[in-house]
């Protein structure tokens, strides 16, 4: 493969790289639009279900009609919620690959014109520190950033809805308030753990086989 350092900046190589860069930017924009759209759709469905449940509860005074309606509606809400959660995980993975692609293109820009490197805010390395630098302009992301992410918010919401569904099922079975509360809380916690495990496993499966082509100097192994 021809070394880009020996290629003139005015050649079509730079145009090809720029075209690919714009293509990745457009794809990333579509990915983020899907994330917002799916999150908004799920929250809308959840809000509408809560309003419907409140109206039925007011009409039936939390009787058997309310329990039956909740057992019919909440599974549908969870179907949309779980689908949204796993799609958000996939979208975040796709977004990471797009960042990797843009970092590699930026590395090619630096090879073509090394004097431009000080003007880049985003990274031109495709290793984890370079990915995080482009993603959030930091090499490390704190806990608050992860907790505010869409998959975590949707996952916690799904866990709460699952706990409520379990409590309603216990109420339909005629259990007491204490047992109902314990079952609902345990189901919510277990759902959160399972969703978190499945999400992390999916991310680890993708990242396990990844090898950066242009690691940063700090990430390169020492010669001794």
Give the pLDDT confidence of 108-152 residue by residue, as tens digits: 999 888 898 899 989 999 998 899 888 877 666 667 777 788 999
pTM score:
0.85
Percentage of the chain modeled with pLDDT above 70: 90
| Contact criterion met (CB below 8 Å) for 150 and 81 | no
Q: What is the pLDDT of residues 44-93, one digit of tens each?
A: 999 999 999 999 999 998 889 999 999 999 999 999 999 999 999 999 99
Nearest to 95 by CA among 64, 135, 53, 125: 135
pLDDT at 157 over 50: yes
- Spatial separation of the C-alpha atoms in residues 52 and 72, rounded to whole Å: 12
Q: How high does pLDDT run on average in the chain?
A: 88
- Spatial separation of the C-alpha atoms in residues 115 and 118, rounded to whole Å: 7
Q: How confident is the model at residue 12 (pLDDT cuts 50, 70, 90)?
A: confident
Which residue would you say has higher pLDDT here, 193 or 114?
193
pLDDT at 162 over 80: yes
| Contact criterion met (CB below 8 Å) for 109 and 17 | yes
pLDDT at 221 over 60: no
The upper half-sphere exposure of residue 17, i.e. CA atoms within 13 Å in the direction of its Cβ, equals 20
**For position 41, what pLDDT does the model report?**
96
- Spatial separation of the C-alpha atoms in residues 113 and 191, rounded to whole Å: 51
- Spatial separation of the C-alpha atoms in residues 88 and 117, rounded to whole Å: 33
């Amino acid at each position: 493969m021809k070394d880009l350092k020996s290629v003139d900046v005015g050649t079509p190589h730079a145009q090809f790289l720029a075209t690919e860069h714009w293509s990745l930017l457009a794809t990333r924009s579509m990915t983020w639009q899907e994330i917002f759209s799916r999150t908004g759709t799920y929250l809308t469905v959840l809000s509408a279900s809560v309003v419907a449940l409140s109206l039925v509860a007011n009409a039936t005074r939390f009787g058997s009609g309310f329990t039956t309606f909740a057992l019919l509606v909440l599974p549908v809400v969870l179907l949309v919620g779980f689908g949204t959660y796993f799609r958000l995980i996939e979208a975040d993975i796709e977004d990471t690959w797009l960042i990797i692609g843009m970092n590699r293109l930026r590395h090619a820009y630096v090879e073509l014109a090394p004097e431009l490197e000080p003007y880049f805010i985003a990274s031109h390395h495709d290793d984890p520190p370079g990915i995080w630098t482009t993603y959030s302009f930091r090499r490390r992301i704190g806990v608050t950033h992860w907790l505010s992410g869409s998959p975590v918010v949707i996952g916690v919401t799904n866990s709460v809805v699952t706990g409520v569904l379990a409590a309603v099922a216990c109420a339909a079975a005629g259990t007491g308030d204490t047992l109902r509360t314990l079952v609902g809380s345990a189901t919510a916690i277990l759902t959160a753990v399972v969703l978190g495990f499945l999400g992390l496993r999916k991310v680890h499966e993708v990242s396990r086989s990844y090898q950066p082509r242009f690691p940063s100097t700090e990430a390169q192994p020492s010669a001794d």
